[in-house]
Copies of this chain bind each other. A is one copy, B any other.
C-alpha cells in the first residue's frame, strides 16, 4: 500500500489543520471573543483530528486501512461542523478556514467510502 493514494487527502488534512490553528489564535484576538468561542473550540478539535487522520493515512497498511477510513469519516464530520461555524464569521481567517474545512471534508469523505 503506497501512501501516494492518500496524498491529496493528507495534503488537505494538513492544510486544514494549519488554517484551523491559525484561526483559533486569530479568533482569540477578535474584539468580541465570546462570539468566537464555538469557533475556537471547533478549530482546535478539527486541527487535532486532521493531524491524526493525516498521520494514520501516511502509515496505513492492510492491517489498519479499515480503521483509517473510519477516522477519515469522523474527520469529515468534524470538518463540516467547523467549516459551517467559520463560514458564519466575516473575518478573513474564518473564511479561509471555512474553505479549507470544506475541501478537507470532501477529501476525507471520499477516502472513507
Q: Which residues of A contact B (CB under 8 A)?
A: 3, 7, 10, 14, 17-19, 21-22, 24-25, 28-29, 33-34, 37-38, 40-42, 44-45, 47-49, 51-52, 54-56, 58-61, 63-64, 67-68, 70-71, 74, 77-78, 81
Contacts and interface: CB of A to CB of B under 8 A. Distances in A.
Nearest to A3: B22
B61 A24 contact: no
Interface residues of chain A: helix, strand, loop or mixed (majority):
helix
A36 B99 CA distance: 29
A41 B64 contact: yes
A38 to B, nearest CB: 4
Q: How many copies does the complex hold?
A: 4
Given A21-B55, A42-B64, A71-B74, 6 more contacts: A25-B58, A28-B33, A28-B37, A33-B34, A44-B59, A48-B52
B74 A25 contact: no
